[in-house]
Amino acid sequence: MEGEAAWRCPNEAGCPPQIKGKIEHFVSRKAMNIDGLGEETIDLLYRQGLLHNIADIYDLKAEDIAAQERLGEKSAQNILDGIEASKQVPWARVLFALGIRMVGETTAKKIARVYTSIDSLQWATAEQLCAIEDVGPQIAENIVAYFNDIRNLEILDRLRKAGVQMALSDEEISNLNSQISNVLQGQSIVISGTFSQHSRDEYKAMIEAHGGKNVGSVSKKTSFILAGENMGPEKLKKAEALGVKLMTEDEFLEMIK
């Protein structure tokens, strides 16, 4: 990426900010969503020699965490509960959490639909990866390079043994195979507000299942806004200014039925 060489540390495996940054990304809300492991706690556990990479998270012991300054038994249990819950995080989010350069949340989802397990992805060539939507030559090379690093393979093996999801579930594969509707094909949709019938994540999945694309901000390219209660005032203002249609929860469900 432009300007990246100016700040990236070439020694990723031995650079403390890089090491801690990868762990912070791994535990973040859109990745493995492990509560309690914030920036300060990660720094503390790193300095105590308890965290050197993302796989070390699954070796943490309650007594080791509780013994640290500003933590204690309650904090230790919260962290361990979060770690245990992260073992149910689906494969697409695990792939995003790995922190492969330039593989963002949306790109990880698209890759996970084609390569439904870590085993199949590991052997993919750059040419094969480039066939996936939004995966260009640089992203493809970054993925290949990631799997060519023995240190990463060792970490992945430890994550697998810890119980982290390294493949789509049977249910996800079944849902994937049933995604045959193109009713939203070519449409860019913004979700805003709170909903009563389904969660925001469920609506995002529905949009993708029917060929649509989730986008985060309103623009003249936005097809419509799936608007719930308490819609963000800025998004509402921008939608009115651009003439973007608002669609209710009921209208949306009727459209894709």
User: Tens digits of per-residue pLDDT, 59-104?
Assistant: 999 999 999 988 899 999 999 999 999 999 999 999 999 999 999 9
Sort residue 239 into left (φ over 0), alpha (ψ -120 to 50) or beta.
alpha
Strand order across the beta sheet in which 188-192 lies = 213-214, 188-192, 224-227, 245-247
The answer on 158 and 194 residing in a single domain is no
Q: What is the pTM of this model?
A: 0.69
Q: What is the pLDDT of residues 161-181, one digit of tens each?
A: 999 999 998 888 776 655 657
**Cα–Cα distance measured from residue 257 to residue 251, given in angstroms and rounded to the nearest whole number:** 10
- The count of structural domains within the chain is 3
Please report the sign of the dihedral spanned by the C-alpha atoms of residue 15, residue 22, residue 56, residue 124. negative
Query: In angstroms, what is the C-alpha Rg of the chain?
Result: 20
For residue 37, tell me if it sits in a domain: yes
Domain-terminating residue out of 54, 88, 122? 88
The answer on 43 and 69 residing in a single domain is yes
**Cα–Cα distance measured from residue 190 to residue 244, given in angstroms and rounded to the nearest whole number:** 10
- Using 50, 70 and 90 to split pLDDT, how confident is the model at 204? confident
**Cα–Cα distance measured from residue 14 to residue 17, given in angstroms and rounded to the nearest whole number:** 9
The answer on 144 and 100 residing in a single domain is yes
For residue 181, tell me if it sits in a domain: no
For residue 180, tell me if it sits in a domain: no
> Which structural domain, as residue segments, surrounds residue 240?
188-256
Domain-terminating residue out of 73, 88, 103? 88
What is the pLDDT at residue 32? 98
